[in-house]
Structure 1
Amino acid sequence: MTKNLDDSSKDAVLMPQEDYESSGAITYRVSADLKYIALLTQYKKGWRHSYNGTYLIYDVTTQTIDATLVTPDDTQYFVWAPSGNALAYVHGFDIYYRPAVNEDSVRVTFDGRSNYIYNGIPDWVYEEEMISSNNVMYFSPDGSYLAFAKFDDSLCQRINFERYDGGIYPDMQVVSYPKSSTTQPTSAVFVYDVTNNATYDVDPPAVFSSVDYLFNRVTWAKDDTFALTWSNRVQNESVMHLVTVNSGTQDTTSITDDQFYHSSSTGWVYQRRPHWIPVFANITVVDEAEYYTVLPKDNWQHLHLVSKNGRIPITEGEFTVTSESASYPSVEVYDQDTKKIYFSATKASPQHRHIYRNSVTPSEPECITCKYATMYEGRCDYISTSFSTDGSRVIVRCAGDSLPPLYLMAKIDHTQTDPDMVFNAEEELEMNEDLVTTVENTDVSTKEYGTFESTSGYTFSYQVWKPPNFDATRKYPLLIDVYAGPGYQRVYNGWSRGWSSRFLPSAMDVVVASVDGRGSNFYGEDFMHEVYKNLGVKEALDQLEFAEYMGNMDWIDETKIAAWGWSYGGYTTSMILANDGPAEAERKIKCGLAVAPLVDWRFYDTIYSERYMTLVDGNEDGYNGASVLQKLDNFPQSRYVLIHGTADDNVHFQNAARMESALVEKDIDFKAIFYADQDHSINVGNANRHIFKVLTRELARCFDMDVPSGVWT
């Protein structure tokens, strides 16, 4: 249904519930003119973000599904244009466009091919490490143009792995997957002119003409101009071009400036991805464009106003301007009339997120959402938002330690001088009242925060999950819950209901703790870049120092400390065991549980590995030092549990196989468990339930505890 925010009498049902349920759809998309609904059916999961399906088209006027308008089976992406009911989709790795939903499709590209040419959708490595989405297609605001990226994987090597869930012979899966320092995909950008049925080339970045480069992002600034960001291969340099489409001459013009070029001498650019989403303050004359973005200032990432005349810092101090994910530092919204800019930041503390407002000149940020921390105590310390395109309304997601998230919708008065009144007329969309009642009537773990001074010279932040009815006179076993990936954060004021944070403290009386060691985000660039070109080493040492610190607590049994992690956390867990000791009496960690761990950065993809490690040629010592396989001389006996899915497209089963082989050669006792046909998440069918029962059992054995009811002994 549609909801009229100003007049509820104008609310309208677009599609009756019974029609939606009978269609077999799992989600939907509504055309801009509200006349048609695309229904995703026959869903087939791809990789982390991608999926295929068939889109049925529902006519709102006739309340029927028109079988003649359906997209082909295995459509890889579908999008409505921003006006009318034009649409575009990708099928067979090629792009198709319909000027109207009931018109014939026009084929835009003709060379798409699995594992070779990708038009409008990313290949595996771009989807996972750069785009974090299933598409690289971008309509202009008026729908006149469709910018898109193309990836050529023809020269990339493939990873092969078998699936065993078919016939009497396994099926071989083949995926284009460039590993560190091997040939990577080439990228190009084009613009399709929907009026002239013509496709125009976009110039590649001249500054990177002599080196490999990466496509980053397209952001339309106005109807005929978009911002296009690129980076060099190792992602310590980034540049933005302003691309204008010239319909008359059927070509494009790209301009850039020294001020649009950014680099880092100490590590990778930005926080987790090498690009930003600019928000334009002035784009009337392209050559005089002004935009807001996030750039380093005095060791912290801050809001800047950028033009060819220079970069003006808008914020300053020891906090980070970021986005919810930190993947794409961005501005939330800019109000042209009042010249106010809204953004997310960690100003209260690295563990908090709130929305702040600044004027276009440097000033102290106003906290717009801090009022919710008082209104909903314990539930609004970590806030994210979704603003309407016109900046008149906002949806606020509140999260905190004590109770489940809540959702509000508010009007925005940009003219208000009182920060607490900028968001107003709030409507409570979802308070999760039933879940709140359940939590309040259940003995659940409690969360506390602390800091300690590390021998590295830094102050580390940590969090501790304690069992309900915690007794400080007792001795509890301790599990170090670790991820420790570069640019990430484990310690934050957010709701959690996971295995380690809730189940273990409540069901097994285990204390669970995490620390943000070197390499973590939101503690300054120097802190984050400490691990540059040397992944795995400092992270493991910091976790070991934290284990020793926690082991000195009166209520921790220092003989029963374990570590566990998944993916990068599994890698860090493995490195922790490899760096613990070396003498048996000196070991702090009794056992380690590693799920889907990487064991050597040579085995991982180009974009991620090279962002943090650069190329093997030039940093071979760094790669060797970061390899678990080369650190097994002091690896402990009978303390390592290795778990991996055989169909892991991300961290390949190759890692587990190589680790198993190396441990056998070193005559080290360990336990290995594999999950057939499971990918990196190990969550298809009963696998997720099964793996956490396995982890529970192995941890109980490590701590010499009884296995909880419902878990095999």
Structure 2
Amino acid sequence: MRFRSFILAALLAANGPALVPGLTPTLTLAQQKQQLTLEDIWAKPTFRTATVPGFDWMNDGRYYAALESGSLVQHEVTTGNTVQTLVTAAELQLNGAPLNVDGYSFNANEQKILFTTGTEPIYRRSARASYYVFDRSSKKLTPLSAGGKQGYATFSPDGQRVAFTRDNNMFVTDLATMQETAVTSNGVKNNLINGSADWVYEEEFGFAQGFFWSPDSKQIAFYTFDESQVPEYDMQEWGGLYPKEYRFKYPKAGEKNSVVSVSSYDVASGKTVKLDVGPNPDQYIPRVMWTQVPNTVSIQRLNRLQNKLELLHGDVNTGKTQVVLTDTNPAYVEINDDLKYLAGGKQFIFTSEKDGYQHIYLHDMSGKQVRQLTKGNWEISAINGFDPKTGNLYYTSTEGSALQRHLYRINLSGKGKQRISEAGNGLDVVNMSPDTRYFLNTHSTAGVPPVVSLREGSTGKLVKTLEDNAKLKQTLTQYDLGKHEFFTFKNAEGIELNAWMIKPSNFDPAKKYPVLMHVYGGPSFGTSSTQTVLDNAGGGTAFTNYLWHQLLAEKGYIVVSVENRGTSGRGSAFRKATYANLGKFETIDQGDGAKYLATLPYVDKSRIGIWGWSYGGYMASLAMTKNADLFKMGIAVAPVTNWRYYDSVYTERYLKTPQENPGGYDDNSPVQFAQNLTGKFLLVHGTGDDNVHFQNSIAFVDALIKANKDYQTLYYPNRNHGIAGGNTRLHLYRQMTNFVTQNL
């Protein structure tokens, strides 16, 4: 379940000026400041975080490209100065009409560029678009295909061809002749997919494009998903005289998955060879990539329970494969994008948490471990780059704190570890140039908008600040934001939990305040993070949610978030404590958080509420039923209410199958505890949610009716899991604000 695009990031507060207790109202700073409004937060660009759009490293690490005012412009890294305009807006016209570009990519020598327009999102990562090839020498703009919109069009490494998908099939276009060749022809909607991921792989393994060019441009490895036996989910689309049915394959927990195969297509001969992924069709192939050895493809094979990962190397000429590495775990094995095959074809790096924390290991091509490169009670978050000349590997980790992420480097010898990020707290998001000479760094701390800068890869030295969000920071000074502080407390078992608190700007310790807790609480997977307690400002919805929490603080509420067991940043034992028992320990920890807050002299223990989205909605629903005596009010947005309704990959990873672990599914389902509800409860869902189906809320409402419990519901027609678009978010947060102020 990858909910991070909506509610994953920490909703943190700024260290705003606190009022001096005892000042009369006519002299308070608050009267000199503006008041936050929902319109400013959700409908206007008042608090929009500035970024560096369209940034793309070019082959020579001295330059980067960016889309600016409809043109593609090349900049010099060290100064940021414009070097040249690669493609002008005037050149991006077709039949006299401007091309509304929404993306681009270069071929290997950067003389041809693929531009996309009219992109149509399908699910979270999938999309189709119209692709156009621009030749910089001839200044000619040519449609890639006349057969309809394409998916994931990708240049071959030698830049001579483009592969793409359409209607569940794969195609290759020769750019010299613009001749289009079908790689497959058997694709059928809701039956067989070539070159793209099915719904559950896209959502849970994090990719939509399912084909990969070989380094020598001679082969294309691609996925085929036979989803003929996967049950369909029927989702109605409202608006016309008669609702439309939208049916798609969605494997719920314990149901049949797609049978997945991997093949390689030889461009010259047109021959396709199927690779041997083993005799068991009930398994996962979460990653496919090419090694640095000619004709050798890398395949990761995962058993259905996801506690055994095998790394296979396959010969595309024969289709034969061999297992070179096996990684197991009593709970589940992490899947990520950290596997890197090093130049020369003799070694690869691989991450594993076999010592209790996610760390980096160096292996030879036979799979034999050469050495463990990183070690300690902290986690690798991502591998950012490798310099073959120096042997230095760059990565981000939690070594400074579970609340932070910073960039480090270490040599393949296991020596010379050094922090590259500047000293201090906060969180760094790193985009490193291919040659590791420079990196784009997005740095923020709690409540402070991010600063985007270019830095030297080897030292972290500042080259140029590209965006400091000075305008937004100045805007924020016009508002009397509440104080934000991190704190820790111990749960009933003596485990220390991280948390943050936003207090009203005019906080008076002699008063009693109501508290609204914000929760996500679900497990993370791979290099993702589901933490709500992070030392960063967040971006997008995270930052606007932070401002909403500040608005509530203006209204006299304290807002708190507690990081329960099951979340990332603190190692395997902490994250996997919830294995086979989702909801149990998370609910205990949130309840212990409410109990701790109740002991604080400035908290009104009779007025503690909780809200969350997605997994957080599940947690809020459990808190309001299993911990009904602790919470006066709750809001659950797009919640899972019965894990039997959720997808196979995510749910079985953490709970096993319903057949193997029925108690894990039923013992912590809010549906089973509807009769315990006593507080005021608001349930929100989008009817077009392809991820957490509206079915979940229907089941919970039915249980509440049977238990004769009062509740309120708010549904959004045809909105997906993000419940957004137009005035939707403004409307939603107005309803939630009113519900909080009227019931807490």
Question: Under a length normalisation based on structure 2, what TM-score does the superposition of the two structures give?
Answer: 0.84
Secondary structure of 1:357's counterpart equals strand
Partner of 1:37: 113
Moved more, 488-497 or 9-18: 9-18
Moved more, 616-625 or 360-369: 360-369
Moved more, 597-606 or 449-458: 449-458
**2:515/2:603 contact within 8 Å kept:** yes
315, 333, 341: which one pairs with 1:269? Answer: 333
Secondary structure of 2:375's counterpart equals coil
Instruction: State the shift of 1:670 in Å.
Output: 0.5
Match status 1:411 vs 2:460: no
Q: Alpha carbons of 1:390 and 1:339: their partners in 2 closer, same or farther (altered >3 Å)?
A: same
Partner of 2:371: 312
Which amino acid counterpart does residue 280 of structure 1 have in structure 2?
Y
661, 665, 672: which one pairs with 1:623? Answer: 665
Partner of 1:452: 489
Secondary structure of 1:242's counterpart equals strand
**2:191/2:226 contact within 8 Å kept:** yes
Q: Name the structure, 1 or 2, with higher relative contact order (CA <8 Å, separation 6+).
A: 2
Partner of 1:237: 308
Partner of 1:148: 222
Secondary structure of 1:370's counterpart equals coil
Q: Distance in 2 between matches of 1:6 and 1:442?
A: 36
Partner of 1:15: 87
Structure 2 residues without counterparts, runs of 5 or longer: 1-72, 525-529
Which amino acid counterpart does residue 410 of structure 1 have in structure 2?
R
**1:499/1:692 contact within 8 Å kept:** no
Q: What pairs with 1:276-315 in structure 2 (closer than 5 Å)?
A: 276-281=337-342, 283-284=344-345, 289-307=346-364, 308-310=367-369, 312-315=371-374
Identity rate, percent: 27
Instruction: State the shift of 1:47 in Å.
Output: 0.8
Which amino acid counterpart does residue 565 of structure 1 have in structure 2?
G
Q: What pairs with 1:125-524 in structure 2 (closer than 5 Å)?
A: 125-130=200-205, 132-165=206-239, 167-204=240-277, 206=278, 209-210=279-280, 212-222=282-292, 224-246=295-317, 251-257=318-324, 260-265=325-330, 267-270=331-334, 274-281=335-342, 283-284=344-345, 289-307=346-364, 308-310=367-369, 312-323=371-382, 331-363=383-415, 365-371=417-423, 373=424, 381-413=426-458, 422-424=459-461, 426-487=463-524, 488-496=530-538, 498-506=543-551, 507-524=554-571
**2:92/2:141 contact within 8 Å kept:** no
Q: Distance in 2 between matches of 1:120 and 1:662?
A: 42
Residue by residue over 1:206-258, the C-alpha shift from the partner in whole angstroms, topping out at 9 and shown as x without a partner, is 4xx44721011123222533322121112111011123434xxxx3442323x
Instruction: State the shift of 1:628 in Å.
Output: 1.5
Match status 1:84 vs 2:125: no
Q: Distance in 2 between matches of 1:552 and 1:110?
A: 66
Report how many aligned residue pairs link the two structures.
655
Q: Alpha carbons of 1:541 and 1:112: their partners in 2 closer, same or farther (altered >3 Å)?
A: same
Instruction: State the shift of 1:189 in Å.
Output: 0.9
Which amino acid counterpart does residue 275 of structure 2 have in structure 1?
V
Secondary structure of 2:559's counterpart equals strand
Partner of 1:328: none
Instruction: State the shift of 1:160 in Å.
Output: 0.3
Which amino acid counterpart does residue 675 of structure 2 have in structure 1?
D
Q: Distance in 2 between matches of 1:617 and 1:532?
A: 16
Question: Under a length normalisation based on structure 1, what TM-score does the superposition of the two structures give?
Answer: 0.87
Instruction: State the shift of 1:62 in Å.
Output: 4.4
Partner of 1:419: none
Residue by residue over 1:406-459, the C-alpha shift from the partner in whole angstroms, topping out at 9 and shown as x without a partner, is 11222334xxxxxxxx23362222222211222233322332111111112311
Residue by residue over 1:113-170, the C-alpha shift from the partner in whole angstroms, topping out at 9 and shown as x without a partner, is 111111111111111011x2321121223322221111110000000011112x3111
Moved more, 525-534 or 391-400: 391-400
Q: Distance in 2 between matches of 1:70 and 1:4?
A: 34
Secondary structure of 1:486's counterpart equals coil
Secondary structure of 1:147's counterpart equals strand
Structure 1 residues without counterparts, runs of 5 or longer: 324-330, 374-379, 414-421, 582-586, 704-713
Which amino acid counterpart does residue 648 of structure 1 have in structure 2?
D
Match status 1:659 vs 2:697: no
**1:505/1:511 contact within 8 Å kept:** no
**1:53/1:76 contact within 8 Å kept:** yes
Partner of 1:26: 102
Partner of 1:3: 75
Q: Distance in 2 between matches of 1:678 and 1:543?
A: 29
Partner of 1:580: 627
Q: Alpha carbons of 1:78 and 1:31: their partners in 2 closer, same or farther (altered >3 Å)?
A: same
Secondary structure of 1:631's counterpart equals helix
Q: Distance in 2 between matches of 1:498 and 1:137?
A: 35
Q: Distance in 1 between matches of 2:447 and 2:430?
A: 20
Which amino acid counterpart does residue 698 of structure 2 have in structure 1?
A
Residue by residue over 1:446-482, the C-alpha shift from the partner in whole angstroms, topping out at 9 and shown as x without a partner, is 3211111111231111111223343333322211100
**1:536/1:572 contact within 8 Å kept:** yes
